[in-house]
Amino acid sequence: MRGPLAAGIGFKPQHIDDVLRCTSPGLWLEVHPENYLGGGPLPAMLDAVADRHPISLHGVSLSLASAAPPDTNHLRRLRRLVDRVKPVLVSEHLAWSSWAGAYLPDLLPFPRTHEALACVVENVQRSQDALGRALSLENPSHYLPIDGHDWSETDFLAELVRRTGCGLLLDVNNVYVSAHNLALDARAYLDAFPLRAVTEIHLAGHAVDDGLAGGLLVDSHDSPIADPVWELYRHVLAIAGARPTLIERDGHVPAFDELHAECQRAAALLSERRMAA
């Protein structure tokens, strides 16, 4: 019997031996399902991880914030993986990444109009039906203002939760990066966030792009989590309570022990918050 999810780490195949050996209570691992949708040694490795630890699938390509429906072939393959590894969490992004058959590997922004909300609701419902379970949607990073919003992001997400029954993935680094880039107040955003629907929290590092106006922050996932993001995380725990929290690192991936140390720091904050409750 596994205990409650505490802090987790984004799984990298080069860490397989450490991951299989690791016995930290509450540890869980998250992967991008896109890398495990075929056969061969990679999904077999994921089976081995799933035998030892809870798994979360964090998709990057369903393109749910799109005028077009999600790719049914992709959904079918994703369902097969869900049935195979029995993930504890399945998540995606409030963003789009395909257009007219082309896959654009990024999480792209859109005007949060009434029309867009209707499309996202429809796409989330289709995906949840195809996967036979609820999805959690992640708040994106923003780099530039988009004109024509009818909804604030937090209200848009709350309405999406109300209409589809989906959960939310709160990426605290994305909140920090977006607030900086769009000159918004991160704490005000968090205070308006529909926290009751949050099933998972993400923490990651970002980079400063000095070449762009005002020192743009880029959600690069290639460095340790920055101190102000840890501070925001404490604030989230204070107002939302303890939630499963993932350490993401996709570039300059260090040895497992370094990620595990960040994971332990989050786990300590979670446990402190649970004690206080």
Residues of this chain that bind other proteins (CB under 8 A): 34-35, 37-44, 60-61, 66-68, 71, 74, 96-106, 108, 110-111, 113, 115-116, 119, 143-148, 181, 209, 212-213, 216, 218
How far apart are CB 114 and other proteins at their closest, in Å?
10
CB closer to other proteins out of 143 and 230: 143
How far apart are CB 223 and other proteins at their closest, in Å?
16
Determine the Cα–Cα distance for residues 34 and 131; give it in Å rounded to an integer.
15
Residue whose structure tokens are 């080069």 = 14
CB closer to other proteins out of 248 and 262: 248
Q: What is the DSSP string of 148-186?
A: --SS-HHHHHHHHHHHH--EEEEEHHHHHHHHHHTT--H
Residue whose structure tokens are 């890398």 = 35
How far apart are CB 136 and other proteins at their closest, in Å?
19
Distance set, CA 29 to CA 47, 115, 200, 245, 260 (Å) = 12, 36, 12, 10, 11
Chain length of the chain: 277
CB closer to other proteins out of 35 and 152: 35
What does DSSP say about strands 216-218 and 207-209: parallel, antiparallel, or unpaired?
A: antiparallel
| Torsion sign, CA atoms 217, 108, 144, 192 | negative
CB closer to other proteins out of 81 and 161: 81
How far apart are CB 34 and other proteins at their closest, in Å?
5
How far apart are CB 215 and other proteins at their closest, in Å?
11
SS3 of 19-75: the string is HHHCCCCCCEEEECHHHHCCCCHHHHHHHHHHHHCCEEEECCCCCCCCCCCCCHHHH
Instruction: Say if residues 58 and 9 touch (Cβ distance below 8 Å).
Output: no
CB closer to other proteins out of 96 and 233: 96
CB closer to other proteins out of 139 and 178: 178
How far apart are CB 244 and other proteins at their closest, in Å?
25
CB closer to other proteins out of 213 and 277: 213
Determine the Cα–Cα distance for residues 178 and 143; give it in Å rounded to an integer.
7
How far apart are CB 56 and other proteins at their closest, in Å?
18
CA dihedral of residues 198, 25, 233, 142 (deg, nearest 10): -60
